[in-house]
Structure 1
């Protein structure tokens, strides 16, 4: 890859995730404290991500893959998004805020696939070339959180500025996208069907009972995941943690570290143990939040944040590899699309609705919340999912060692690994 192309793609990836991290982490705190919404409304606001994830395949399948160059669609979506984010920063009530952020997320979620498409089409060996570029996206999310913490916007009641910061970044990426390498529509792409766009052609994988177990566990585990995304920042701010958004960036730092270590864990643990450890980390994280505090239990709060790396990498990334291995060449893309739609679409949607109702149910008379009771609920859900997974996931068909090539988003993925099922 030409060095200039590599720099352009890296900058694109940095801005893509900087934009998301700039407002998404503190959204719950902003709504509760500055728009004075209920926790249920917070959950409704966060489920716009799920709606966007459900709509995204249709935008990509009907438009990007067949009619217009990906980089131009990326530019247009981010320019419109910039205007919507700026408007979101000035509205003063939830009735105006919600439709704005809903339209924004419907436009933003497809860009996650578009930046990958633009990147992959410029690469000869994605497994080697993509990880150093994708890691800039995680760095962008981290920098966004550290910036919010450094500027002290949470404590000063200035979280509306997060949307303006994201808006400016979105405008920059929108304009910059038109300078990216040309990524024309896929030649010979036929008429798209709903089944193609939703990845339903990979549904035959469910004949494998262990994969069906994994699939259902993936949907179920996203219910407690929504509690983390939606209410960790309000929780930490309510406890009085300074620069909470900056502290939460340690979760992404942990994600980077464990991503680098995953090849070592794979060869020693195998798929089932990796998935189980990821789910157990969810149970432990919420227990840390339930019993942690700013004084004697501060280490538990930080520990719960750092566990994000194990929660995400050991379950979701391992699941992507497991899916890639079983799907075969013909159904790889369809299978990954199906699992993404099920988790970030269906699972997170259920979790967003449920989490808001539960947080409202445990609101105290003084305006605070009984956070211990709240966090024990997602911990319990994760524990049940883990127990059922351990009982039902047998995978007898793959007892022997299987050679699996890691997907492009895994550092050190250029070499093949022996994964014990």
Structure 2
């Protein structure tokens, strides 16, 4: 019980430090880096978020190799969090959008590997203490989402979303996480005599899945849908903040506490995950992925309709539907990959899925979304937000139309387990 509690604390802290700045970063950049008006600021914000994708392409694999062979995982996790703290402190000092791209790339290089590394530590310690990893990890991981939500609320209620105090706070929190990591039980490195190629160590064996036309189409759409994942992280906060320019909405809850409103998305995410086993067993991956795409259409479309006044209900509905849009793609897709991959490449296949979604997808989404925002921004910096969100909704709708036409997969109701056991 003690080890489960300690891993729960780790999960909470792991995502708490991310939630401090991830959602509010876009709004912070629009407020602080747009005087004089920068006609390319949307693209720069997209590029800033895209650095997480670039970092995800190579850093988790490199850190994973170090943890396997050379440095104990809990020590390496602490080092990464310390380095992320230093990078966040640097982010608090920059005064241009271009410099922020560099700063967040530095943060991402050290933070993004900690997500998989903290998971690996949890798996190892649960196994060592004779817990059923499949049953024990999910209740631990859900506290990571809780930590993210608590961080969003804290930064919002403390009034730090539009100033650099959020980065000081995040840096201090990263130091606390690093110190906590040093207190974790030892995770010994593996002195294996088995010789593996560098390709195998990087998990590139999973690229053999591309030989299967069905999996090739799946991973392609995973990348394209992954592009949608960061769009509202990037521009949800700036969108709500812009309503503050209108006297009708300046004092509204959605403007003053945009982070809290956006946090409904993460709350919804924790609830919809419970529905995944039923939907996968009843409808199969093709229909569930299609449901996710339609949910993304609604997510963006409802943002286009909504406002902090009479249209507040549309904003709330957009937050609620996010849980279905995210979980039915991200979690269901992961389960599908696990089922289709051979046992010897399952871990690598999961890495490939993450590379396509959080790596290439995030890069594509950052560049695409930033350009769309710039196209609908006039010379004075005012944005046509409805047109922006309808453009994103149109993108998701196009994917929803194409996906069932090109993804050929026959569902068997006995192919998916009743529980999230993988």
TM-score in terms of structure 1 length: 0.91
Shift of 1:307: 1.4
Q: Which segments of 5 or more consecutive residues in structure 1 lack a partner in the other structure?
A: 407-411, 417-421
Shift of 1:193: 4.2
Counterparts of 1:189 and 1:382 in 2: how far apart (Å)? 48
Counterparts of 1:145 and 1:283 in 2: how far apart (Å)? 25
Which of 149, 162, 168 is the equivalent residue of 1:142?
Answer: 149
User: Quick check: 1:152 aligned with 2:152?
Assistant: no
Partner residue, 1:419: none
Counterparts of 2:150 and 2:271 in 1: how far apart (Å)? 16
Shift of 1:365: 4.2
Counterparts of 1:334 and 1:294 in 2: how far apart (Å)? 44
Number of residue pairs matched by the alignment: 403
SS of alignment partner, residue 153 of structure 1: coil
Shift of 1:330: 1.2
* CA pair 340-193 structure 1, distance change in 2 beyond 3 A: farther
Partner residue, 1:200: 204
Counterparts of 1:298 and 1:326 in 2: how far apart (Å)? 42
Counterparts of 2:32 and 2:47 in 1: how far apart (Å)? 17
User: Quick check: 1:64 aligned with 2:70?
Assistant: no
Which of 81, 89, 94 is the equivalent residue of 1:91?
Answer: 94
Shift of 1:209: 2.6
- Residues 19-418 of structure 1 correspond to what in structure 2 (within 5 A)? 19-36=17-34, 38-123=41-126, 124-154=131-161, 157-158=162-163, 160-188=164-192, 190=194, 193-240=197-244, 241-396=255-410, 399-405=411-417, 413-414=420-421
Shift of 1:269: 2.2
**Native 8 Å contact 1:255 1:310 kept in 2:** yes
* Residues 227-236 or 94-103, more deviating: 94-103
**Native 8 Å contact 1:148 1:243 kept in 2:** no
Shift of 1:321: 0.6
Shift of 1:205: 2.4
**Native 8 Å contact 2:284 2:412 kept in 1:** no
Shift of 1:33: 0.3
Counterparts of 1:311 and 1:358 in 2: how far apart (Å)? 21
Counterparts of 2:368 and 2:98 in 1: how far apart (Å)? 20
* Residues 220-229 or 324-333, more deviating: 220-229
TM-score in terms of structure 2 length: 0.90
Shift of 1:294: 1.9
**Deviations 1:128-184, CA, capped at 9 Å, x for gaps:** 110111011000100011112222334xx43x1111111111000101101112112
Shift of 1:191: 5.6
**Native 8 Å contact 1:5 1:181 kept in 2:** no
Counterparts of 1:217 and 1:96 in 2: how far apart (Å)? 32
**Deviations 1:217-257, CA, capped at 9 Å, x for gaps:** 11111223332221111111112322101111111100100
Shift of 1:51: 1.3
Counterparts of 1:234 and 1:190 in 2: how far apart (Å)? 51
Over the residues paired in the alignment, what is the CA RMSD in angstroms?
A: 1.9
* Residues 292-301 or 96-105, more deviating: 96-105
**Deviations 1:170-216, CA, capped at 9 Å, x for gaps:** 00010110111211223417566453355331233234332222111
* CA pair 308-353 structure 1, distance change in 2 beyond 3 A: same
**Native 8 Å contact 1:21 1:142 kept in 2:** yes
**Deviations 1:348-394, CA, capped at 9 Å, x for gaps:** 10110121122112113442200111112221111111111111222
Counterparts of 2:76 and 2:60 in 1: how far apart (Å)? 14
**Native 8 Å contact 2:62 2:202 kept in 1:** no
* CA pair 318-374 structure 1, distance change in 2 beyond 3 A: same
Shift of 1:56: 2.0
**Native 8 Å contact 1:47 1:349 kept in 2:** yes
